[in-house]
Amino acid sequence: MSLLKREIDKFNHVLSVPETEDTWESLSKGIQFFTVICKNGACDWPEELVPALRLLALPLIGAMSSERTRLSGVAIDLIASVASGLGCIFEPLLQIFFPVLLTLSGRTNKVIVTRARACISVIIETTQLPSILPYFLQSMKDKSTSLRLTAAEGTLTCMNCFNPPDLEKDTRAREVESVIRATARDANADIRKVSRKIFDAYKLLLPDRVDRYV
C-alpha cells in the first residue's frame, strides 16, 4: 500500500464522521492536514488522488457548504490546492466541485463568498479548462446577483488568461457571446460594467467574429 493510499484511507476515516458541535473541529484539522499532503506531492499521483476525491465528494461538499465558516474555509482551500497541483488534470473533479463553489458565491455570508470566488479564480487560472465557461453561462440565469457577478467576473478572468485558440473554437466563442448578451442586459450595474470589459476582451481575442456578432 502506497503512502498516499494510507493517507487517503485516514482522510476517508476523518470525513466519515458527521459534522456536529463536537466533531467539526476535528473535521477541520483533518482537511487541513490533507491539504498539506496535497501541497507536498500528492498531486503528483493523480491516478490515486482523483478517484479518491471523487469518492469523498459528498462529505467534502458537506464541509464546503457548512455554515461554520472555519470548516467551510478549509474545505474550499483544499479544492484550491488540488486544482493548483493538478492543473488541467483537475477536469474530472470540475463537474463535482465547481457548481458547489458557484452556489457558495451566492450566499449571504461575505466570508464564504470571498473564499468561494478566490477558489474559482484559482481553478480558472491554474487549470485553464475551457469547459468552465458553460457553468458561468448557466449561472447567468440565477436569481442571486452575487452569483451572477461571480459568473461575469469569472468569464472575464477566462478571457484574460485562457489560451486564445481554445476561445476561438465555435462552441466556446458562442458561450462567451451568450454571457455578453446576458450580462449586458442585467439589472445590476456592476454586472453590466463587467460585461463591457468582457466585450472589450472579446473584440481583441475574436476580432473576426465581432461584426457578425454585433
The predicted-structure confidence for 46-67, as pLDDT tens digits, reads as follows 999 999 999 999 999 999 999 9
- The pLDDT, as a whole number, for residue 190 is 98
| Under 8 Å between Cβ of 64 and 79 | yes
| Assigned CATH for 1-127 | 1.25.10.10
pLDDT at 92 over 70: yes
pLDDT at 118 over 60: yes
Confidence band of 214 (pLDDT split at 50, 70, 90): low
Percent of the chain with pLDDT over 90: 94
**Dihedral, CA of residue 105, residue 109, residue 111 and residue 112, to nearest 10:** -40
pLDDT at 212 over 90: no
Q: Which of 134-141's residues contact partners 24+ apart within 8 Å by CB, and which partners? A: 134/175, 135/98, 135/99, 135/102, 136/175, 136/179, 137/175, 137/178, 137/179, 137/182, 139/102, 140/178, 140/179, 140/182, 140/183, 140/186, 141/182
Q: Cell for 106? A: 451566492
Confidence band of 213 (pLDDT split at 50, 70, 90): low
pTM over 0.85: yes
In which residue ranges of the chain is CATH 1.25.10.10 found?
1-127
Instruction: Calculate the average pLDDT of the chain.
Output: 95
Lowest mean pLDDT among 69-73, 138-142, 206-210: 206-210
Nearest CA to 166 out of 70, 91, 71 is that of 91
Task: For residue 149, give every residue at least 6 positions away whose Cβ sits within 8 Å of its Cβ, in sequence order, or none.
Answer: 188, 190, 191, 194
Rounded CA separation 141/181 (Å):
12
| Assigned CATH for 132-214 | 1.25.10
Rounded CA separation 120/117 (Å):
5
Length of the chain, in residues? 214
Confidence band of 1 (pLDDT split at 50, 70, 90): very low
